A and B are shown apart, each in its own frame.
Chain A
């Protein structure tokens, strides 16, 4: 992009070609009024406020700065008497019918219209007309719309369509009667991302979770990282007197460009919920009663010491948290391994997909996973495999739509379910494969690419290892495209065009989703996907990068921090004495060599078998979130002593002997690692609610009581230790995490300079080159050769069961995720019902209609849910979200494919 030189208000300004005058001025600190232009939306030109005087090639004309691109030698005047006169006139028109109800408007104080009126020193106008007085539209618990205040700038319409892909609202009517509204004025039915509120320059769209509780100038704004999904959006928490009032966003902060989802934007009420556990609780004569911290800590320390001395440290199991910070989790595993002396620690994400950590780690080493999530915006092709982006990671959906809009990116969606993903891609390939056939489908893509010579065969051969063997084994097992097409139920042409598209030069992103990762055949499918990426990367000219979906805000971090049985922090194999030695040296302890093996029993198995006597759970609700909920419940019941550290009295906490009140993300500092391996720092928003304490502090206290004091004064000192001890987080310290606005960021991919693992480097002296940050050192670096592995593991097959004819599929939900959303009242009133999704054909045969109550039964248990008849699930399967805590679908599940039956009930 070439630079253009121009003059704005006498100041010499340089801007890239294609920039409009409005942004060129803004970037150089020159203010031009404007209410409709928004950098993240397409240009509109409707508010008519950004008029400037432009002199170009000897001609002086009035131009609207948002619509006029800069050109060489242009001279712009933003303030002339003419410009002032005309701009004033437009604001006067805008205010002619405006209700001027600023005193009762929540926007007052941060209102664009108010600011411009003030700036232009507008006084009582020429018009005395009737003020608009249409009723407020309040048809949902989160958003309200006041058409009287609307200036029809169109931002909400655009954000809804372009960013969120929904298009729930549009203009209605003509002339002065034009309003924004939904089709046929039906109640708003959208994803409730709140984008309309964020971009609205007036008080038309309002966040109902704030409603009249605070004025904008009373609010303290602290940016931090969202606690729901694994995207890691930056949220700006607005507080008043230690209470969270609302969440806003900042377009310039973080990776999300101000885009949020319904949970991130409106799911904050749990923080100050009355249901928070505010004091430590101890079970006394069968009932959990409030006690002092001292009493609770003493009791836990006493019991842990007793059990450890009686049965050995390994008799205590620890469950880390996908929600807690890296620092919390690091300390938790350190506590378990050193103080308690156990390696029986785990986290739910690892239990759900045990092979994932190893495969992710390999992918990073081979540079197959090599880009952070925000890079998606630069993609030319996107491939969602088993990823329900719209439900699971909505903001990645927005990034995808941006790529589609800006780069004309093409999209391939492969999923067993007919998932929704609204977008405007000119080319979208859909592959709805039969359940369990994903590995064949992916391998077929590789075969097609090789057979069709879509990549340079020779290059692949020289730059990878074991290629020939792998290829011949692949060919041996190849059943031919026709058969694959029948097996997967995807047409030959579609598979072929997908292979062609993937091998095409350009930046390609593959998002591997939960439906692959948590499928019983996860390892084979992911391996196939890695092979496919390695193939294209080695033989093609451009990069393919794999992004692994993670469920929670710190699902990646909890694994990085080694809250897993088989890896020490940084994925160092615990079975290797050298690795143990490394940590023994830095922790100055002796580590237990009693380590669990691959495919061995997990913590819950051990507890159910009585091998684990005590369980220590930090920030997790396994009874609901573990995919075999029944087993987890049995384990907790069986255990002699259970300690749960949580913000709410979850199903798990209710079974505990001691409950420690833990602070939420808003009350603490630390770091989260998102699914794109970007580490982002939290800022403390409010003081801990009640007597709750941050998790790291509780662990510290407990260690102290047990006679092994940790000397950490803040999460910062833990972070410094992580930076020293954890190879992949090497060098992560406050000082060399680049301060970008008010957030701390670093990415695992920043400098993948050494072969043994990957390490952190600061952003200094690095330049962005396509996908990655490079430094001069980068040239010396040669990537690791990819080794093709011939998998011998057989994928599990779907067992047919006459009594239970349906396969139960589970997945994410947009509107809920776990304990936090369950305790956010607005979210619950928006989505109070967990549905069972049934294919329309199955529903017809089983005589189930939309909205009927349905009993869903498996060999393990049963549940009653409302039916949603849809085409989203394939025939022969039903779908239930795992994210509604009060509908514990995991109770019904087993580790393999779960067979269920459904029947209509009352």
Chain B
């Protein structure tokens, strides 16, 4: 239930999920919500409502509790919507179990909302700026109820496709809409479907890639947890288009909630005839199987994923043949990302013409980004393609917290790149990002403020790729490790002048020689930081200085007088009493006594120690 200023819309939604009469309390139970204690809040509501006997049908006051999927603004979790009949739905933010009795008492019984806990304006602004085509249902419906999805117009697209459209028409609709793969590569979905549909084979497979491995990306999880039926609908439509005989959803085992809800959704869809034998009596049958991945990042690569489904070690293979020719079990296979499939019902329902109006010339529709890092409103955002980074970071994200300065955004996860301030006003689409040295990737967007060392960040992402390399080819397996060794050396003040040159050359070599996307894009963070933040590398190498004082080995353990607020926190924490100073005097570190334990640096809230 997306509450906001669009009162009209909210009201209809409230009605639908409230079953006409009675109040509804919707608690965000996405993974973020649960992590913030959502399940406890949910239980408490149930308990309190029961004890107050609000759930029994005495008169018109029937109270219900409802689960919803991710509400996107995870920074404010737990988010709770309270809808009293005839009144506008109101959202409480940062709800804890302790707050529950008061909310029930005042809002439900006395009909006076607890104003101090209601979501602030920024919450509404966060949602207003977005265009939630895909995430619309997430947080608004109970993901474990097919009815709520159907009431929202769910499976209408499937009905339309199966009854009124040929496979070719479906493909042409998707092509016309200009939908491109949301998994990272941006491959045209219609083209892929078409080439798979052309293959002549006794069996064909459609696979949904839900192996979302990028650190900081969770849009696929939110869809699977919050709106699993939309995904199923998209897969069945895709399956129909290519003539698939079986479907797979490959989900990371680290997403237990997604797995559970998908299982429920599949069961429900089968019961209703949206899945399984003879779907909607159209003659088309498709069974969907959930395959849980064992946690290898590389299994997000399509060929490795297929091997993993076959029960083999997830290692990418060379192409040709392409998956559409010989993929899973050597049969034509079409593989798309969760978000891509979720776009499909929207395209069918609203039409390619309408859909293609959103976005830029080459990149159509909306894109979900996982906004994390040094930004106020961390969470999921869905925005039209072509939006600028500035809009995302400052308008939706609410800017950088603690009045720090914006430094860069890392787009596209570990294989993406870092874009500096100069790119703030560049519109985001597949091409422009590639041009700038980043990539769309799965859509993780990490905001970096002035306190982050770019060399260290490149090291972090490279470390991730080096560890997640499947080990098949030497450029990725050995090359990334060697690059990592150099980066570590630089962050430890042992960098050499020629290192930057070596890193650049190696990046090119690894990019050219690696077998799969993981290896090819692994050096991207290094390339982009070297391109935009070369001076930081130079500082590390020549001056043995980390400008942001992040790299511990380069700390000189001196106090920057301008920054010191004389709070004496460092003095109180120094284990060897090496720091002198007082509330009146800036701190001073005695080098003789200092044992370089780094405690003062960690404790200082003002980055005054270097």
Write the residues of chain A forming the contact surface with B, with a CB cutoff of 8 angstroms. Answer: 43-48, 51, 62, 64, 66-69, 85-86, 89-90, 93-94, 96-97, 126-127, 129, 151-152, 154, 170-171, 173-178
Contacts and interface: CB of A to CB of B under 8 A. Distances in A.
A178 B471 contact: yes
Given A170-B313, A171-B471, 12 more contacts: A48-B475, A48-B514, A64-B318, A85-B509, A90-B475, A90-B509, A93-B478, A127-B482, A129-B485, A152-B472, A175-B466, A178-B477
A93 B475 contact: yes
Contacts of A151: 474
Contacts of A69: 320
Given A89-B506, A89-B509, A174 B475 contact: no
Interface string B293-335: 0001010000000000000010101111000000000000000
A66 B313 CA distance: 21
Nearest to B469: A175
B318 A67 contact: yes
B482 A86 contact: no
Nearest to A178: B471
B478 A176 contact: yes
B56 interface: no
Contacts of A173: 471
Contacts of B478: 93-94, 96-97, 176
Contacts of A51: 513
Main secondary structure of the interface of A (DSSP, over half): loop
Main secondary structure of the interface of B (DSSP, over half): helix
Interface string B474-516: 1101111110010000000000000000100110010011110
B471 A152 contact: yes
Given A68-B320, A129-B485, A175-B481, A47 B469 contact: no
A329 B345 CA distance: 80
B467 interface: yes
Contacts of A126: 502
B473 A47 contact: yes
A89 B313 contact: no
B37 to A, nearest CB: 34
Given A68-B320, A171-B315, A46 B473 contact: yes
Interface residues of B, number: 33
9 contacts: A47-B473, A69-B320, A93-B474, A174-B296, A174-B298, A175-B467, A175-B477, A176-B469, A176-B478
B214 interface: no
A178 B478 CA distance: 10
A93 B484 CA distance: 13
Interface in B360-399: none
Contacts of B313: 170-171
Given A89-B506, A175-B466, A94 B296 contact: no
B513 A90 contact: yes
A93 B471 contact: no
Contacts of A93: 474-475, 478-479, 482
Nearest to B298: A174
B477 A176 contact: yes
A48 B471 contact: no
A71 to B, nearest CB: 10
Given A86-B509, A96-B482, A175-B481, A45 B318 contact: yes
Nearest to A157: B313
Interface of B: 296, 298, 313, 315, 317-320, 466-475, 477-482, 485, 502, 505-506, 509, 512-515
Contacts of A46: 472-473, 515
Contact of B513 (A89, A129, A178): A89
A89 B476 CA distance: 12
Contacts of B505: 89
A126 B467 CA distance: 22
Contacts of A66: 318
A66 B471 CA distance: 19
A154 B318 CA distance: 14
A45 B317 contact: yes
B468 A48 contact: no
Residue in A48, A96, A173 with the greatest tally of chain B CB atoms within 10 Å: A48
Q: Top 9 A-B pairs ranked by shortest CB distance?
A: A178-B471, A45-B318, A67-B318, A93-B478, A89-B509, A176-B481, A175-B469, A46-B472, A93-B474
A141 B418 CA distance: 54
Contacts of A175: 466-469, 471, 477, 480-481
A85 B475 CA distance: 13
A174 B320 contact: no
Contacts of B470: 174, 178
Residue in A66, A68, A89, A177 with the greatest tally of chain B CB atoms within 10 Å: A89
A154 B515 CA distance: 15
Contacts of A127: 482, 485
Nearest to A126: B502
A170 B471 CA distance: 12
A46 B316 CA distance: 9
A175 B478 CA distance: 8
B474 A45 contact: no
Contacts of B513: 48, 51, 86, 89-90
A68 B321 CA distance: 9
Residue in B313, B320, B468, B509 with the greatest tally of chain A CB atoms within 10 Å: B509
Nearest to A46: B472
A174 B467 contact: yes
Contacts of A62: 512
Nearest to A85: B509
Contacts of B318: 43-45, 64, 66-67
Nearest to B515: A45
Contacts of A154: 472
A47 B477 contact: no
Nearest to B519: A48
Nearest to A177: B471
Nearest to B505: A89
Residue in B466, B470, B475, B482 with the greatest tally of chain A CB atoms within 10 Å: B482
A127 B483 CA distance: 10
Contacts of B315: 171
